Each structure stands twice: as structure tokens, then as C-alpha cells.
Amino acid sequence: MAPIKSDLPQGTLDLLMLQVIALGPVHGYAIAQRLEQVSRGVVQVPEGSLYPALHRLENRGLLAADWKETETGREAKFYRLTRKGLKQLETETADWQRLIDAIGLILGMADGGAQ
């Protein structure tokens, strides 16, 4: 039996990562932890999704990276948002809002039940 998994819908991962990185430079490993914490465990990002996404975003010019030392004395790649990335974040956030709004209309259209 397949355990119930709440996978992230395709496309939303980029948005969430941009949001976390917008708060300040972080390295990949920390991004995943941050997402999991803030979402109270609902959003979990395995590394097999994380790093390809990071490279994808960097490749599109939305992120820039520098190697720095972490508090634990390790070298890590710290990502930060570029100007283009910030713009993308704003656009995608607006799109997301509009979309869940529309979906809300659809999901609520039936309902006698209100609530």
C-alpha cells in the first residue's frame, strides 16, 4: 500500500525556494529545513528535487551563489536572489494567488455545504 504522500505540485517548488532565499543568503541544505519548519512539516523537499531546482533557477539567472563558510565551519554554497529573481518571485506569487483563487471558486461552486 502506498503511504499517503503530500507531494508538491509541479512548479510550486521554485516559488517556495525563491521565497526562502529572498529572506537572505542560504545554502541548499538549509532551504529544505526552513521550508519544512515553516510549513510545519507539510512541505518536504528531498535533495533529489532540491539541487536540480537550485541549478535550474541559477541557470535562468534568478539566483546567484557564493561559497562561504557556515557556522559549523564548513564550506557551503550560499544562494541569493538576483534582481530578476525578485521580479520572478513577485510575478509567480501573484500568479499563484490568482490560481488558488480560481480553484477556490471551482471547489466552492458546488457546495451546499458551505463552510
Among 41, 61, 66, 74, interactor with DNA by CB under 7 A? 74
Give, in order, the Cα–Cα distances in Å from 57 to each of 50, 52, 80, 106, 115: 11, 9, 11, 32, 39
Q: What angle do CA 74, 77, 68 make, to 5 degrees?
A: 55
Tell me: does residue 89 bind DNA (CB under 7 A). no
Q: How far is the CB of 92 from DNA (least distance, A)?
A: 11
Q: What are phi and psi of 63, to 5 degrees?
A: -125, 155
Tell me: does residue 27 bind DNA (CB under 7 A). yes
Contacts of 60 (CB under 8 A, 6+ apart): none
- Taking the least distance from each CB to DNA, the nearer of 70 and 97 is 70
Question: Coil, helix or strand for 44?
Answer: coil
Tell me: does residue 34 bind DNA (CB under 7 A). no
Give the residues lining the site for a second copy (CB under 8 A): 5-12, 15-16, 19-20, 22-23, 35, 38-40, 42-43, 93, 95-96, 98-103, 105-107, 109-110
- Taking the least distance from each CB to DNA, the nearer of 75 and 114 is 75
